[in-house]
Amino acid sequence: MVLLTSSFLYDLVLFVVIFLTTFILYYNYKLSYWKRRGVITRKTVFPYGNAEKIVKQKLHFGLEWASMYNDFKKKGQRYGGGYLFIKPVFIPCDLDLVKDILQTNFNHFSSHGIYYNEEGDPLSGHLFALDGERWRNMRVKLTPTFTSGKIKMMFNILIKCGDIFEQVIEKHSETGEVFEIKDLTSRLTIDIIASTAFGLVTNSIEDPGNDFATKCTTFVAPGIQTIITQVLQFFLPHSFLRMANIRVNDPTVANFFLDVIRKTVDYREKNNVYRKDFLHLLLQLKNRGVVSDDGKIFPQNDGEKNSATSITFNQLAAQAFLFYFGGFDTSSNLVSYAFFELAYNPDVQKKLQAEIKKVFEKYDGDLTYDSLNEMKYMHMAILETLRKYPAVPINPRQCTKDYKIPGTNIVIEKGTTTFIPTMAIHYDPDIYPDPDKFDPERFSDENKAKRHPSAWLPFGLGPRECIGLRFALMQIKVCLVKVLKDYDVTLNEKTIVPFRFQKHGLFLVPEGGIWINVSKQTH
């Protein structure tokens, strides 16, 4: 069939030429987005934009975007623009601007831009992903479940898991056997999450092959379908993905978690069980619409239930799952990096051990919530670990309402993705001189007060700041005390120092792992 010329072949060539010309014009137009707005960018590579090294796994995405921050800052810019393929990404480099986005003008950037599908895939509807009114309502409901009082209530779970951790450390010290700390802290974190959020007692430390642990590790190593969804969410409208009922989580893994939660919820409701954990607080929200200090999961009197503030079973399941989604890799990485830095910096380790001894003497050897809170140097060492190893090196925010950059005529349009360059800020020598040095003193009250409020962002900032931060800090404190009160930690020669980070994955993981030796203290 001939359409435009006298020959099919000419038609075909013409069609290809028109197609290619249109494509090139469209592509170049898309990649001129920042230039047209007078925002500096870095040279792009077809078809990756600024994501070539990330896609080809030559550099971890956190480090690649950190290098863009450094480029822009060197050129004296307060911000710059990048491209994920053809998608524009805004990168603020100025701390006032970062604060403006995360806190002061939060209503312009209130979404993480993460895809969720509450109907087709209930577990995806957790707080981190929700946006708009859905997010606001859920955040209000969940905030009372993460107060210091509620963390104190769950403290015993941390102590029990910490006891098992200590026993493993004791065994290693007796046998002199080296171990990989991230592997151990991952198993420990799985036990803590299973107990706190799912009401399950697992023993992944001694039995790493248990069902729960296996499903957890499958989730963090997603299959091809999950990876495709993760990519699609950047490029296609979320409403379209929802209409097509695209799932976020692997159905086998999601059904396993849903099933576990349903069984525990049914059991507790049938037998009126009170257990001091996060699931209990979620059950109160579901059945009463309030979080209370009592042990009751059902309304106390007719009319007590507040339907406006209660949550459904699916919402309960998603928020329990969130403990895993938000807390697994983040917490286990933090604990393992802290052990690395303490082993690498024996002076800091000694100072910490002295502090632990002093506080223990005051509390007659009791490890309590209050005694942990008195360990100021430990707190500083943890904050410094979080500076050097922010679990989320780039914090994504989506512009939800046009935003004019103060002092300019440039408007960040609704829908634009913003990457807050946490890792780059934490390694900026203008903010933290000698940034590779591990120095807890940076976080003394006096030194902290000298810095900008958005100079330290491992938990984000503003209304969407990490809701689990108190829990995460308590978990690492228990782990550190359990080990350092009786043992010295040293670095095994199998650890590659300085680290080379794996080039793939969401989190920064050192290649070859962190290998540790422990020995009983003699001092």
Residues at the site binding ligand HEM, with contacts judged by CB under 6 A: 102, 127-128, 139, 322-323, 326-327, 330-331, 334, 391-392, 395, 458-461, 464-468, 471-472
| Lookup result for tokens 């038609």 | 11
Q: How far is the CB of 507 from ligand HEM (least distance, A)?
A: 10
CA atoms of 158 and 135, how far apart (whole Å): 28
Residues 439, 385 contacting (CB under 8 angstroms): no
217 or 490, CB closer to ligand HEM?
Answer: 217
CA atoms of 512 and 233, how far apart (whole Å): 32
Region class of 302: left (phi > 0), else alpha (psi between -120 and 50), else beta: beta
Give 65-68 contacts, CB < 8 A, sequence gap 24+: 65/91, 65/393, 65/394, 65/419, 65/421, 65/423, 65/424, 66/393, 66/421, 66/423, 66/424, 66/427, 67/424, 68/42, 68/421, 68/424
Query: Is 93 a known ligand-binding residue?
Result: no
CA atoms of 367 and 483, how far apart (whole Å): 12
Q: How far is the CB of 327 from ligand HEM (least distance, A)?
A: 3
CA dist list (Å): 211 to 186, 197, 207, 216: 15, 16, 10, 9
33 or 459, CB closer to ligand HEM?
Answer: 459
Q: How far is the CB of 50 from ligand HEM (least distance, A)?
A: 22
474 or 516, CB closer to ligand HEM?
Answer: 474
> Taking every pair of C-alpha atoms in the chain, what is the biggest distance, in angstroms?
97
CA atoms of 454 and 96, how far apart (whole Å): 8
Q: Which residues have a Cβ under 8 Å from the Cβ of 259 and sit 6 or more positions away? A: none
Q: How far is the CB of 332 from ligand HEM (least distance, A)?
A: 9
Q: How far is the CB of 237 from ligand HEM (least distance, A)?
A: 21
Tokens of 516: 């540790």
Q: Which residues have a Cβ under 8 Å from the Cβ of 269 and sit 6 or more positions away? A: 283, 287, 297, 298
41 or 98, CB closer to ligand HEM?
Answer: 98
> Nearest-CA neighbor of 199 among 141, 128, 273?
273
Tell me phi and psi for residue 428, to 5 degrees: -80, 115
Q: How far is the CB of 459 from ligand HEM (least distance, A)?
A: 5
472 or 508, CB closer to ligand HEM?
Answer: 472
Q: How far is the CB of 508 from ligand HEM (least distance, A)?
A: 11
288 or 464, CB closer to ligand HEM?
Answer: 464
DSSP 405: P
Question: Cβ-closest residue to ligand HEM?
Answer: 460
Q: How far is the CB of 88 from ligand HEM (least distance, A)?
A: 20
264 or 333, CB closer to ligand HEM?
Answer: 333
Kindly tell me the number of DSSP H helices and DSSP E strands found in the chain: 21, 9
Residues 164, 191 contacting (CB under 8 angstroms): yes
Report the DSSP beta bridge partners of residue 179.
Answer: 516
Q: How far is the CB of 196 from ligand HEM (least distance, A)?
A: 9
85 or 431, CB closer to ligand HEM?
Answer: 431
375 or 457, CB closer to ligand HEM?
Answer: 457
CA atoms of 188 and 478, how far apart (whole Å): 12
Residues 331, 469 contacting (CB under 8 angstroms): no
419 or 432, CB closer to ligand HEM?
Answer: 419
Q: How far is the CB of 282 from ligand HEM (least distance, A)?
A: 11
Residue list for the binding site for heme: 466
Binding residues: 466
